[in-house]
Chains A and B, each alone.
Chain A
Amino acid sequence: MATDITKKTHETKLAPRRERAGWTYAPSPEAKDHVRLKGRYDLFIDGKFVAPHSGKHFATHNPADESHIADVAEGDEHDVDTAVRAARKAFEGTWGKMRGSERGKYVYRIARRIQERARELAIVESVDGGKPIKESRDVDLPLAAAHFFHYAGWADKLDYAFAGRRARPLGVAGQIIPWNFPLLMAAWKIAPAIACGNTVVLKPAETTPLTALLLAEIIQECDLPPGVVNIVTGAGKTGGALVDHAGVDKIAFTGSTDVGKRIQRAIAGTNKRLTLELGGKAANIVFADAPIDQAVDGIVNGIYFNQGHVCCAGSRLLVEESIHDVVVRKLSRRIEQLRVGDPLDKNTDVGAINSKMQLEKIHELVAAAVSEGCAIHQSSAKIPTKGYFFAPTFFTGVSQSHRIAQEEVFGPVLSVITFRTPDEAVEKANNTMYGLSAGIWTDKAAKVFWMAKRMRAGVVWANTFNKFDPTSPFGGYKESGFGREGGRAGLAPYLEMV
């Protein structure tokens, strides 16, 4: 391309700083010509893509520009029933009886094929869900493959997992996953379930079904016995049919606390097992003796990662009063560096809000905080005119009673609350119905342990935040749900001990 570097200038020196425009990053869009997407997707049942019983399909959109991407089948009770029967047949016919070592090899295949098609899957994830390509590329995809890899290796070692007990698969697992980490959540659900010898019917979120359908293609390519993994797309009604189906032995759900409670009520009185991974309102606690610049990075990662569409997001910043002003100053400056926009641009830090509905909810809660008198701090980043975007935002002058401090925003919005003593920090951190995660920033090891012990939360990040690993159990206390995903603990929900 033609650039100005060959043009003659009289000065060999750079122009004085004031006369130079700031050095900016040019757009760097991820190439997507290698992505293989179809215009229409059917349900994946019994190893085949089949048309939905209703004959209906619904559209899935790119939240970054509101464009139509593909049509996806709308599964109904009939389709769910077909899928559950296929899963049952696979469980009783092949999968449940297969030696663990053989099952494991299939699961390894899936891990490898995900790695092979990682870039393509990452792009589809970003297009369908709005998350920045650097996150789908560097977080979602590697972790999804790693989950399959980790659990593949468990398949023939289940008898080592629980001392003194022998483990048996449960049967058919119905799994319902959210839109914030579509493929990763599919991996978290499917990998342990099938490694343990169960078969599954998975219902992806209606706004982000595509990577799960590509995963279905991968599973087909891996030659898994038909019916081991079935994927039925649809909305809440489809999920409800799965929960209510009598042929399901276990329900695993990740999503909102509201829906989680409804599921828990729906299966009351049945023998279905249940694990729930629900909402959160995590405190990220910064003490005056914290490594402050890294804490600010941790705060940013805690709340603006994936547009704040993270159940374990550090959405309440509890900061020791003596460093409040310093932290706010550093945070204000830091959010100016966040690049908001095209999810497929490799330099984008904050992508698109997943859906119009979610964007409206964020607007509503932000408006409420403003009207309640909280001080708003917002990045001056230019927001694209098309698509669903929200600039990184935080509020100061927030107290525990404000709506913004209590309700899960599930967006790039942080509440800053002060505390004076560690006891007060503990009290405020735990003063929520949720208990998924917590963050602690201090240079003092004894304080880390003292605090970690007192956090009523399933995951505590000390001097770090939003870290995930297939070997590390994840799940909540209180209304954030029960059951763990990851590691040895992640096997238990899919096994019966005899």
Chain B
Amino acid sequence: MSEANGNTGRVPVEKTYKLFVKGEFIRSESGRSLPVPDAVTGGVTNVARASRKDVRDAVIATKAGHHSWAGKTAYLRGQVLYRLAEVMEGRRGELVEARKGAGASAANAAREVDASIDRVIHYAGWPDKISLLVSSLNPVAGPHYNVSHPEPTGVVAVVAPDGDAPALLGLVSTVLPVIVSGNGALVLAPESDPRTAVVWSECLATSDLPGGVVNMLTGLRSELVSQVARHMEVQALDVWKSTTVDDALAKEAAVLGADNVKRVKVRDGRGKTFDQWASDDAQGLHCIEPFLELKTVWHPVGL
């Protein structure tokens, strides 16, 4: 970060803010970038401005990531997510600085990062509980063994909370419930704070999470939402209305989502307070369930 190092005279190395796709940090194939003001330095940072082709590549990456991730045991997924919390704890300072750069006060940024890490811990415990709570052995009236159990939906696009929503907590609160069950997440980062999204992506990249499970695209929602919503390999949409996603754009996404019968969840993040985001009610099974499919398997019982 561009902090003053006047005492030593050393010139600090600046970070390049790239897209996070398939476990790698890449530039937009379009070569475009977006200037983002830094509230701490007063300067401007450039972040990648994802294009339609970046969306396409990210969807392919998310599909592959989902397949690899869903194939892991629930126990392992839990361990990897716990590791994510460890990495975030280790990068706590950087996450706090990133949030301050987007205008958060030092106290609020610290509070948010703590809440975010705790939320990751909450979800790290979920992978091997979901099926225990959602599955059933169905007592059918006949000689059949009949079981229902949840499976991940597949490729889920998350249009993360934006605007006055706490960027990191918003990301954690929406991405984690998607991936705990084995889904892959294609995330449209908040325009209000793309840098925190990238720093968090660095946590993801170093947390043993397989490449492609979470893919983070920074850029303009006005360009990207419809691309994501109409993509036929995307099976679910989690759209948070915000300063960058108004009613009309959310509706457009929902309409486009019908092209392949996407599971579309549109929620309003506008005006939601930090305390609401941080409350226990904003996490848990009900946040995970919209991105599950229930599979029922029948088998006869007889000699």
A interface, CB within 8 angstroms of B: 146, 163-165, 257, 260-262, 264-265, 268-269, 276, 278, 433, 448, 452, 455, 457-464, 467, 469, 471-475, 477-482, 484, 487-489, 497
Whether B138 lies near A448 (C-beta < 8 A) is: no
Contact of B257 with A by CB under 8 A: yes
Given the known inter-chain contacts A269-B247, A478-B261, A482-B261, please indicate yes or no for A462 contacting B254, CB distance below 8 A. Answer: no
Q: Add 18 more A-B contacts to A163-B285, A278-B261 (CB < 8 A).
A: A165-B286, A257-B261, A260-B261, A261-B261, A264-B257, A264-B258, A265-B255, A265-B258, A269-B254, A455-B295, A461-B297, A463-B300, A464-B299, A467-B142, A472-B138, A472-B296, A479-B260, A489-B136
State A140–B259 Cα separation when bound (angstroms).
Answer: 32
Contact of B217 with A by CB under 8 A: no
Which A-chain residue is minimally distant from B232 (CB atoms)?
A433
Distance in Å: Cβ of B147 to nearest Cβ of chain A = 9
Whether A473 lies near B138 (C-beta < 8 A) is: yes
Contact of B107 with A by CB under 8 A: no
State A472–B293 Cα separation when bound (angstroms).
Answer: 14
Given the known inter-chain contacts A464-B299, A484-B294, please indicate yes or no for A261 contacting B138, CB distance below 8 A. Answer: no
Q: Which residues of B (269-303) have their CB < 8 Å from a CB of A?
A: 284-286, 293-300
Whether B298 lies near A489 (C-beta < 8 A) is: no
Task: Report chain A residues within 8 Å CB of B144.
Answer: 464, 467
Given the known inter-chain contacts A471-B139, A472-B146, please indicate yes or no for A489 contacting B254, CB distance below 8 A. Answer: no
Task: Report chain A residues within 8 Å CB of B296.
Answer: 458-460, 472-474
State A257–B299 Cα separation when bound (angstroms).
Answer: 28
State A471–B138 Cα separation when bound (angstroms).
Answer: 6
Task: Report chain B residues within 8 Å CB of A497.
Answer: 286
Which A-chain residue is minimally distant from B71 (CB atoms)?
A453
Q: Which residues of B (45-103) have their CB < 8 Å from a CB of A?
A: none
Which B-chain residue is minimally distant from A165 (CB atoms)?
B286
Contacts A/B (CB < 8 Å), 16 sampled: A163-B133, A163-B285, A164-B284, A264-B257, A269-B255, A452-B297, A457-B295, A460-B298, A469-B146, A472-B138, A473-B138, A477-B293, A482-B263, A487-B138, A488-B136, A489-B136
Q: Which residues of B (129-183) have their CB < 8 Å from a CB of A?
A: 133, 136, 138-142, 144, 146, 148, 153
Distance in Å: Cβ of A105 to nearest Cβ of chain B = 22
Whether A458 lies near B295 (C-beta < 8 A) is: yes
Whether B298 lies near A464 (C-beta < 8 A) is: yes
Contact of B227 with A by CB under 8 A: no
Contact of B250 with A by CB under 8 A: yes
State A464–B133 Cα separation when bound (angstroms).
Answer: 27
Task: Report chain A residues within 8 Å CB of B133.
Answer: 163
Whether B261 lies near A479 (C-beta < 8 A) is: yes
State A473–B139 Cα separation when bound (angstroms).
Answer: 11
Given the known inter-chain contacts A448-B299, A460-B296, please indicate yes or no for A261 contacting B259, CB distance below 8 A. Answer: yes
Task: Report chain A residues within 8 Å CB of B293.
Answer: 458, 477
State A457–B136 Cα separation when bound (angstroms).
Answer: 17
Whether B298 lies near A487 (C-beta < 8 A) is: no
Task: Report chain B residues within 8 Å CB of A484.
Answer: 294
Contact of B251 with A by CB under 8 A: yes
State A477–B262 Cα separation when bound (angstroms).
Answer: 10
Distance in Å: Cβ of B256 to nearest Cβ of chain A = 9
Whether A268 lies near B261 (C-beta < 8 A) is: no
State A9–B18 Cα separation when bound (angstroms).
Answer: 98
Q: Which of B139, B146, B153 has the most chain A CB atoms inside 10 A of its CB?
A: B146
Which B-chain residue is minimally distant from A497 (CB atoms)?
B286
Task: Report chain B residues within 8 Å CB of A487.
Answer: 136, 138, 148
Contact of B235 with A by CB under 8 A: yes
Whether A460 lies near B297 (C-beta < 8 A) is: yes
Distance in Å: Cβ of B211 to nearest Cβ of chain A = 22
The count of A-to-B residue pairs whose CB atoms sit within 8 angstroms is 110
Which A-chain residue is minimally distant from B70 (CB atoms)?
A453
B interface, CB within 8 angstroms of A: 133, 136, 138-142, 144, 146, 148, 153, 235, 247, 250-251, 254-255, 257-261, 263-264, 284-286, 293-300
Whether B260 lies near A433 (C-beta < 8 A) is: yes
Whether B138 lies near A268 (C-beta < 8 A) is: no
Whether A469 lies near B141 (C-beta < 8 A) is: yes
Task: Report chain A residues within 8 Å CB of B285.
Answer: 163-164
Which A-chain residue is minimally distant from B302 (CB atoms)?
A463
Task: Report chain A residues within 8 Å CB of B138.
Answer: 469, 471-473, 487
State A471–B144 Cα separation when bound (angstroms).
Answer: 12
Whether A463 lies near B140 (C-beta < 8 A) is: no
Whether B263 lies near A464 (C-beta < 8 A) is: no
State A406–B218 Cα separation when bound (angstroms).
Answer: 38
Which A-chain residue is minimally distant from B259 (CB atoms)?
A261
State A264–B264 Cα separation when bound (angstroms).
Answer: 9
Distance in Å: Cβ of B303 to nearest Cβ of chain A = 12
Contact of B148 among A165, A464, A472 (CB under 8 A): A472
Given the known inter-chain contacts A462-B298, A471-B140, A472-B296, please indicate yes or no for A269 contacting B261, CB distance below 8 A. Answer: no
Whether A146 lies near B299 (C-beta < 8 A) is: no
Which B-chain residue is minimally distant from A477 (CB atoms)?
B293
Whether A459 lies near B258 (C-beta < 8 A) is: no
Which B-chain residue is minimally distant from A467 (CB atoms)?
B298
Which B-chain residue is minimally distant from A451 (CB atoms)?
B297
State A472–B251 Cα separation when bound (angstroms).
Answer: 34
Given the known inter-chain contacts A467-B142, A479-B260, please indicate yes or no for A269 contacting B250, CB distance below 8 A. Answer: yes
State A475–B293 Cα separation when bound (angstroms).
Answer: 9
Whether B146 lies near A268 (C-beta < 8 A) is: no
Task: Report chain B residues within 8 Å CB of A264.
Answer: 254, 257-258, 261, 264
Whether B261 lies near A276 (C-beta < 8 A) is: yes
The 6 closest A-B pairs by CB, nearest first: A269-B251, A268-B254, A264-B258, A469-B140, A471-B138, A268-B255
Contact of A469 among B142, B153, B251, B263 (CB under 8 A): B142
Task: Report chain B residues within 8 Å CB of A458.
Answer: 293-296
Task: Report chain A residues within 8 Å CB of B153.
Answer: 477
State A359–B294 Cα separation when bound (angstroms).
Answer: 34
Which B-chain residue is minimally distant from A433 (CB atoms)?
B260
Whether A464 lies near B300 (C-beta < 8 A) is: yes
Distance in Å: Cβ of A456 to nearest Cβ of chain B = 8
Which B-chain residue is minimally distant from A474 (CB atoms)?
B296
Distance in Å: Cβ of B92 to nearest Cβ of chain A = 30
State A262–B299 Cα separation when bound (angstroms).
Answer: 36
Whether A472 lies near B261 (C-beta < 8 A) is: no
Which A-chain residue is minimally distant from B141 (CB atoms)?
A469
